[in-house]
Amino acid sequence: MGVMKPIIAVTAGLVPNRDEPWAPETQGQSHTYIDAIVRAGGVPFIVPVVDDEAVLRRLYDLADGILFAGGNDLDPKLYGEEPYPGLNDATPVRDAVEIKLMRWALADRKPFLGICRGMQLLNVLQGGTCYQDIPTDLPDASDHNSSTKRQDLEDIAHHLRVQPGSQFATIIGADTIGANTHHHQALKKLGTDIIANCWSEDGLIEGIELTGGGLAIGVQSHPESLDERAEVLWRKFFAALTDAAKNNLN
């Protein structure tokens, strides 16, 4: 028998069946999240969007760490706003599942990473807010959906400025890191005990972490598409999760 590997839960997204809209929507995630966890030495499984709390708790208890994946927009009502006209990707049912998982993880100090919406969820649960739509709210900002428009997951759209002395800086061992950009929402007000750890060139927050110890870090970009080739520094980001999760092994 080899060394036991930590089990990492990856949250599922909801995808409508565009070819057959009458059919049930699909639950799942891009294989890039799974690949990144495997490369980092973890054993991933996808947590379905399920409203049975006992089932969800059992899945949570199986995990040594959690990756809160990207995808659907957060419901703006979570941070006290009505949705902008045309905002149609919010998924309250997914929000409810991930809120429970993240609250449990925060209470238990179970290590987790948040990517894109996962970062936004961490901020919102701590009382922070979001810009619902960057072009609407911040018309002078750069195009933060440019990698999507290029249809290139490995596109290095910008280099993030990393906060010296932050946990994130310690993990990656650098003061800049290349990132793609696939989002139309961003953080606005930071929540309680949340600090920013990196920024894009136009000043938007691209990463946060919870103060007070433990591993609870979020990034706005999608490093799961970069760590294999385009920006290998991100391998350290995922390794931080699997390394911290090893402390939870039975």
Residue 44 to residue 62: CA distance in whole angstroms: 11
Whether residue 159 lies in the annotated active site: no
Whether residue 228 lies in the annotated active site: no
Q: Which of 98, 158, 222, 231 is catalytic?
A: 222
Q: Which of 206, 209, 224, 231 is catalytic?
A: 224
Whether residue 224 lies in the annotated active site: yes
Say how many C-beta atoms besides its own lie within 10 A of residue 4's C-beta.
11
Q: Which of 98, 116, 144, 231 is catalytic?
A: 116
Q: Which residues of 71-97 are buried (b: 16+ CB within 10 A; e: fewer)?
A: bbbbbbebbeeeeeeebeebbeebbeb
Q: Identify the three-state secondary structure at position 78.
A: helix
Supply 82's token pair: 């009505």
Beta strands, E only, 105-215: 112-115, 130-131, 158-162, 176-179, 186-187, 194-199, 205-210
Residues 6+ apart with CB under 8 A from 182: 70, 116, 145, 147, 148, 221, 222
Burial of 223 (0-12, 13-18, 19+ CB in 10 A): buried
Q: Identify the three-state secondary structure at position 55.
A: helix
Q: Which residues are catalytically annotated? A: 116, 222, 224
